[in-house]
Amino acid sequence: MSKHVIVGMGPIGSAATRLLAARGEEVVLVSRSGAGPAAAGLAELPGVRSVRLDATDAAALGELAAGAAVLYNCANPAYHRWATDWPPLAAALLAAAECSGAVLATVGNLYGYGAVAAPMTEDTPLNPNSVKGQVRARMWEDALALHRAGRIRTTEIRSSDYIGPHAESPLGARVVPRLLAGRGIQVLRSADTTHSWTYTEDAARLLVTVGGEERAWGRAWHVPSNPPRTQREAVADLAEAAGVAPVRVGEIPAVMLAALGLVNPTVRALREVAYQLERPFVMDSGAATAAFGLKPTPWTEVLSATADSYRTPAAHR
């Protein structure tokens, strides 16, 4: 049994916890309240315990991570606060990894690549065109510099927009409940440009794999994901998987988004990354499949799990 420390109990951290517990590992969950595991349905898993801790406290986090095989960064600061909240948290995670010797395995995304004209691979240069992209690129560059200096061991997984139970996603809470109720849907930006979607469970599988694989360290990996689908196609696929009639799919008018942005900081923060839903946004994930034999969960299973998670209020946490 090895010790694993997970910072963040969203869909990826929760799924990683279940995978590690099923393997018989010791899992320590870190949150500010210490109450997250019960809410996430993790409290009864064998070998899992929670700790109340501010993860920006590098000394305390490093002490907690002592003896751990892997320290997982599954945190997710408020979307509109990345520029202020990520730097101190990322610095604390680096310091904790260095003093504890734990491998730092980070849940990343594609923002650092910026707007590109071809499918993104792990060799696509980091060239962010947004503040959020700059934050994520700097996090990886800092971690990689320490890895190359021999001070830490690190790796990162990168996903496109998530799909899955409880995932914050353009195909999440704004879409699925309306679909199940037979109501029309307005999607963000373009309904008809191709887009990669990453299943949260597949992200967790790759995360726990690369954290424990020495050959995975020192580089980033794209999460195995199904072929891209437009938002219109994905909504139709969700309807079919849920066994409901197709619904009308439109686009939220730009003027409405601008008005919402005046009062909603999350909507306002979407402006700088709107390109991701305005032009093809496609991720190539062949490297992880070739290296570790991991394949994406079949699309129909992803859709069914997503729809089912919204069927009752209790199921959607």
Tens digits of residue pLDDT in 137-156: 999 999 999 999 999 999 99
Instruction: Provide the pLDDT for residue 289.
Output: 98
Q: Which residues pair with 28 in a beta bridge?
A: 5, 49
CA distance 132 to 295: 29
What digits encode the pLDDT tens for the residues 103-138? 999 999 999 999 999 999 999 999 999 999 999 999
CATH number for the domain whose boundaries are 3-165+198-226+283-297 = 3.40.50.720
Assign residue 196 a region (left: φ > 0; alpha: ψ between -120 and 50; beta: otherwise): beta
pTM score: 0.94
Cβ pair 136, 128 in contact under 8 A:
yes
- Retrieve residue 198's tokens: 């990453």
With vertex at residue 229, the alpha carbon angle to CA 167 and CA 282, rounded to the nearest 5 degrees, is 85
What digits encode the pLDDT tens for the residues 81-94? 999 999 999 999 99
CA distance 102 to 96: 8
Average pLDDT, the chain: 93
CA distance 161 to 169: 6
For 145, the 3-state DSSP assignment is helix
CA distance 117 to 108: 21
- Report residue 229: phi and psi, to 5°: -135, 145
What digits encode the pLDDT tens for the residues 285-304? 999 999 999 999 999 999 99
Instruction: Provide the pLDDT for residue 265.
Output: 81
Q: Burial-class residue 117 by CB neighbours within 10 Å (0-12, 13-18, 19+).
A: exposed
Break the chain into its structural domains and give their ranges: 3-165+198-226+283-297
Q: In angstroms, what CA-CA distances link 109 with 18, 153, 169, 285?
A: 22, 19, 13, 13
Longest Cα–Cα distance of the chain, Å, equals 56
Using the predicted structure, report yes or no on whether residue 313 has a pLDDT greater than 60. no
Cβ pair 138, 205 in contact under 8 A:
no
